[in-house]
């Protein structure tokens, strides 16, 4: 799509269909010329879209013609996001490097991390090897979910799988620090969600008693805009997780990420009857705990 057509779409944007067409055009243009928009390659474009998609969608709403075209506004905004991606990547790298350097597994005399899985198991029976592999997969899961437990529970888990508790406690400390950093982000999104919900309710009440066509159109646009803000906030909050990533587990324990991926997949496949039976109760508990998941607010 040419720039002129994109400018025309942006100037007439007012509904979901137009916004969808605009975002499709933006995605095609950025993937076709990533370097023009400040990205290294298509992979970095995908990383930016995954991390900042709600923010990129908001560019259409925030744009105002002040002498610069929408294409120029889009280009400068995406170049700034590309810089943000690189800064965040560098920040994570140095932070994780410092944590890994302080990890008990990096100590010269430390042997607890690798004592569970010996280098050669040729002289061990098949049942013993299976049990050893199962315990190692459980250890991956414990490290991944360490922030959901306290230190006493983690020590008990380590003892039950014949592992050293240092890795679990170290994972707990790292995840706790990361969650503290995410808390400010979550609070901001909750405030945005609640404010948008209140504005929607107030404007809907005003709309019921308004008969002027121009005022009704204005109120409907405000309601639609707040609905999009509310939806994006819900989407962002649902993406926040208390678990560590598989890459986090792999770096902490010093094993390949593919080993962690395969181990957790096998573990979840083996124990699938447990969490499949508990999933309906879990979903119901989440709906009762978080009003944002209720059908009344999502409609």
179-197, pLDDT tens digit by residue?
Answer: 777 777 788 888 988 999 9
Q: What is the pLDDT of residue 127?
A: 67
Give yes or no: residues 26 and 116 share one domain: no
pLDDT digits (tens, 9 = 90+) for 71-88: 888 888 889 888 888 888
Domain match, 90 and 166 both: no
Q: Are residues 84 and 117 in the same domain?
A: no
Task: Give the rounded distance of the alpha carbon of 96 from its chain centre.
Answer: 18
173, 245: one domain = yes
**Rounded to an integer, what distance in angstroms lies between the CA atom of residue 36 and that of residue 79?**
9
Q: How far apart are CA 65 and CA 81, in angstroms?
A: 21
pLDDT band at 123 (very low <50, low <70, confident <90, very high): very low
Q: Are 78 and 124 members of one domain?
A: no
Query: Residue 57 belongs to what H/E stretch?
Result: helix 42-62
**Which helix (H) or strand (E) is 146 found in, with range?**
none
pLDDT band at 198 (very low <50, low <70, confident <90, very high): very high
Query: Is 224 a residue whose pLDDT tops 60?
Result: yes
Q: Do 22 and 157 belong together in one domain?
A: no
**pLDDT cut 70: percent of the chain above it:** 71
Residues 61 and 126 in one domain: no
Range of the domain at 173: 111-299
Residue 78 has which token pair?
A: 């995406």
pLDDT for residue 56: 85
Whether residue 24 is found in the same domain as residue 95: yes
| End-of-domain residue from the set 73, 102, 131 | 102
Domain shared by 131 and 188, yes or no: yes
* 84, 102, 120 - which closes a domain: 102
Give yes or no for a contact between 144 and 244, defined as CB atoms under 8 angstroms apart.
yes
Shared domain check, 142 and 51: no
The number of folded domains in the chain is: 2
- Average pLDDT estimate for 44-73: 80
Q: What angle do CA 162, 168, 173 make, to 5 degrees?
A: 165
**Is 52 a residue whose pLDDT tops 80?**
yes
- Distance set, CA 280 to CA 140, 265, 276 (Å): 25, 21, 8
pTM of the model: 0.41
Q: What is the pLDDT of residues 5-38, one digit of tens each?
A: 666 666 665 556 677 888 888 888 888 888 988 8
Question: Mean per-residue pLDDT for 157-177?
Answer: 75
* Whether residue 269 has pLDDT greater than 60: yes
Same domain, 72 and 130: no
The mean predicted confidence, pLDDT, of the chain is: 74
**CATH number of the domain where residue 9 is located:** 1.10.1740
Contact indicator for 34, 41 with CB cutoff of 8 Å: yes
Q: Which residue has the higher pLDDT, 130 or 226?
A: 226
Distances (CA, A) of 152 to 130, 131, 171: 27, 24, 14
Are 147 and 171 within one domain? Answer: yes
- Of 89, 32, 33, 29, give the one whose Cα is nearest residue 56: 29
Better pLDDT: 69 or 228: 228
């Amino acid at each position: 799509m040419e720039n002129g057509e994109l400018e025309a779409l942006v100037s007439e944007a007012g509904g979901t269909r137009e916004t969808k067409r605009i975002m499709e055009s933006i995605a095609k243009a950025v993937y076709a010329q990533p370097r023009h928009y400040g990205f290294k390659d298509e992979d970095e474009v995908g990383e930016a879209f995954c991390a900042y998609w709600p923010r990129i969608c908001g560019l259409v709403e925030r744009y105002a013609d002040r002498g610069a075209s929408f294409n120029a506004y889009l280009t400068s905004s995406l170049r700034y996001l590309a810089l943000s991606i690189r800064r965040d990547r560098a920040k994570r790298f140095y932070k994780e490097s410092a944590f890994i350097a302080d990890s008990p597994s990096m100590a010269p005399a430390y042997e607890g991390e690798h004592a569970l899985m010996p280098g050669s198991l040729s002289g061990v029976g098949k049942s013993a090897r299976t049990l050893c592999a199962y315990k190692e997969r459980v250890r991956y899961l414990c490290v991944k979910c360490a922030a959901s437990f306290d230190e006493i529970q983690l020590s008990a888990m380590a003892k039950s799988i014949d592992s050293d508790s240092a890795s679990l406690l170290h994972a707990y400390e790292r995840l706790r620090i990361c969650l503290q950093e995410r808390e400010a982000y979550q609070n901001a999104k909750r405030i945005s969600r609640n404010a948008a919900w209140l504005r929607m309710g107030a404007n809907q009440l005003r709309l019921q008693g308004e008969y002027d066509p121009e005022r009704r159109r204005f109120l409907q646009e405000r309601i639609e805009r707040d609905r999009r803000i509310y939806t994006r906030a819900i989407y962002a909050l649902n993406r926040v997780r208390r678990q560590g990533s598989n890459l986090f587990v792999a770096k902490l324990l010093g094993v390949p990420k593919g080993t962690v991926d395969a181990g957790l997949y096998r573990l979840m496949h083996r124990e699938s009857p447990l969490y499949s039976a508990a999933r309906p109760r879990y979903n119901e508990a989440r709906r009762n705990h978080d009003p944002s998941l209720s059908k009344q607010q999502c409609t």
